[in-house]
């Protein structure tokens, strides 16, 4: 006998739903990493590239551009020769830091749990 499909009582997120808005921002590949490293203070492009060695320059540039467009980070051209650019979190970006920290905390617990789990042979 087939199980009856229960109706979901949670309303679906609308296109303008706050959850959808926030997750569309955080859902991009490498975006949480960029925000994490900027939470420690302003960083230049090269410094971020060192912080996140697996990210390509093209993707890092795209993430920084997108986050700046959305008002999460600010891009400041420094008056040096040659000119350099610093990226920093805006007040809106700072509001995302506790969420990123919570995700990191859960990640640590998951990693520790996986390390303690007994390995089972695969067939």
pLDDT in tens, 39-63: 999 999 999 999 999 999 999 999 9
**Is residue 11 assigned to a domain?**
no
Task: Decide if 33 is inside a domain.
Answer: yes
Question: In this structure, is the dihedral angle defined by the CA atoms of residues 16, 17, 20 and 22, taken in order, positive or negative?
Answer: positive
Least confident among 14-23, 33-42, 47-56, 67-76: 14-23
Q: Which structural domain range is residue 77 located in?
A: 28-115
**pTM, two decimal places:** 0.77
CATH code assigned at 101: 1.10.10.10
Contact 42, 88 (CB under 8 A): yes
Beta strands in the chain (DSSP E): 43-44, 73-78, 84-89
Number of domains in the chain: 1
Task: Assess if residue 123 is contained within a domain.
Answer: no
């Amino acid at each position: 006998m087939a199980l009856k499909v229960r109706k979901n009582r949670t309303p679906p997120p609308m296109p303008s739903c706050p959850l959808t808005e926030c997750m569309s921002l955080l859902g991009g590949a490498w975006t949480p990493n960029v925000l994490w490293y900027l939470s420690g203070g302003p960083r230049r492009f090269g410094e971020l590239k060192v912080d996140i060695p697996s990210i390509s320059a093209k993707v890092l540039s795209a993430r920084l551009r997108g986050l700046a467009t959305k008002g999460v980070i600010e891009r400041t051209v420094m008056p040096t020769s040659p000119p350099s650019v610093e990226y920093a979190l805006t007040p809106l970006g700072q509001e995302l830091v506790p969420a990123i920290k919570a995700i990191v905390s859960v990640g640590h617990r998951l990693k520790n749990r996986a390390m303690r789990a007994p390995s089972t042979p695969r067939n």
